[in-house]
Chain A
Amino acid sequence: MSEFLNSLDPRINRLSIPVEFGSTFPEKDQKDQFITFEVFVQPKVSKAYQHEGIVHAPTDEMAFLFAKEQFSRRGMSCSGIWVVRTQEIQVSPITEDGDNIYAYINEEIMEGATTSESTKYQVFHLMKRGKQHVHVGEVEASSPEQALLHAKNSFASEKPVFNLWIVKDSLFMKIEGEDFQDIWNTLPDKKYRDAMDYRATEKIKKFKAEQNA
């Protein structure tokens, strides 16, 4: 068995995700580009944060700058963005078919876990393959492993979860709340960034009719 998650998707393989939950990502000898950050976007205050993608950046501040224009440049609204270094995300194994990842999480995973002071962890679920991880809530725990167990107690249900992300809350850069709401003020006016806004069919029909006349 290989050390890293082996997938048919080459993008997954390139990420070298360790099979062992909680182990750190390998360091490259030489950096050929900036490190990556994962970006989570909240479309409106009443909705959950959702993973939207990756940006390369030298710092979390710059990651936010890029994330905003990469992942909240279209749509009706946006109320917040979280960014976190990719390597800080603890990724659970991925299950097959209808298998629920929570079925594999029990007291045993705590064996050998390095514990520290209890802190807040954010929990994300992958409910459908090919879709994005969605934030489900937070748990207090003294290790990522314990966070998994607590996540099971708090968030597991009948519906299978295929993959879990666990991230220490203090590692996020969060741009949200009242102080920042106005930076997305003009989003609904930016229809010109959507293909929908360029309705050419009528014009083409008219043009053709004129040509044929």
Chain B
Amino acid sequence: MTEEALKDLLYKIADDQLILGHRNSEWTGMGPLLEEDIAFSSMAQDKVGQSLAFYTLLQELGEQEPDIVAFTRNAEQFHNCQLVELPSGEYDFSLIRHFLFDHSELIRFQMLAECPVEEVAQVARKLKGEVKYHVMHANTWVKQLASANDEANTRMQKSLDYALPYALGIFEASKFENDFIEAGIYPGEKAIETKWKENIALVLEEAGLKLPNWSEIKPVYGGRYGKHTKHLQPLLTEMSEVFNVDPTADW
């Protein structure tokens, strides 16, 4: 496997985390109750911290330092899936996105924990515990809200239906897909997708939410190749606003 392939993998993981971390941090100070405000903000911070771990691996592979990579690229240079860049919307959508994304991330980290590239395996092993809590959080909330009352259930179902095509975009195949599988880096996006469908179905069924027929959902692809919604660039502009005041400042 080439270094280019490994970088492709690390970039998409790091970019997903940075963008979702930033999106979720928009709830800070506005969460539905104080305790949840703190919990959701903490997890948003975790995500940004996780992106730093992967940008640091990229730096070791010769890429620029994490701050430069995070703050100076344009939307089309980002490899995140479109799911994570969508506006936060109402809390039901943010929770559903958190649920769908983190389930995939937990499987990804569990697989990467066995990666023969030891540096990558180490980071994955360390971070998967953190993501395990994120998934516990997501599962509990989804079950709680979906069974609360009719309005809550309807809203959760609506958000789920809206998010699913984008969620399938998490698993958009890389052009290096076969290289990863052959080199045993991880079993590939299809494998994550299959396991993910099983895992979320268990929770959604318990929660009383309906999964549509997968064959009827058209995945929203493009994010992994730099094709994004109109929502990503404004997010990046806002995120890098302070950095751009003085890019050489030492924080």
Contacts and interface: CB of A to CB of B under 8 A. Distances in A.
A85 interface: no
Contacts of B34: 56
A59 B127 contact: no
B246 to A, nearest CB: 13
Interface stretch (A8-16, A60-68, A123-131, A152-160): A60-68
Nearest to A65: B137
Q: Is the interface of A mostly helix, strand, loop or mixed?
A: helix
Interface string A18-57: 0000000000000000100000000000000000000111
A82 B134 CA distance: 18
Instruction: Identify the interface centre among B35, B49, B132, B137: most chain A CB within 10 Å of its CB.
Output: B35
B50 to A, nearest CB: 9
B185 to A, nearest CB: 22
Interface residues of A, number: 24
A205 to B, nearest CB: 14
A59 B38 CA distance: 18
Interface stretch (A94-102, A107-115, A185-193): A185-193
Contacts of A185: 126-127, 129-130
B144 A59 contact: yes
Contact of A186 (B127, B140, B250): B127
Given A183-B129, A185-B126, A185-B129, A61 B140 contact: yes
Q: Is the interface of B mostly helix, strand, loop or mixed?
A: helix
Nearest to A63: B35
Contact of A69 (B42, B49, B128): B42
Given A62-B144, A185-B126, A186-B129, A70 B137 contact: no
A10 B250 CA distance: 45
Nearest to A183: B133
Interface of A: 34, 55-59, 61-62, 65-66, 68-70, 73, 181-186, 189-190, 193, 203
11 contacts: A55-B35, A56-B34, A57-B35, A62-B140, A65-B39, A68-B133, A69-B35, A69-B42, A73-B42, A183-B132, A186-B130
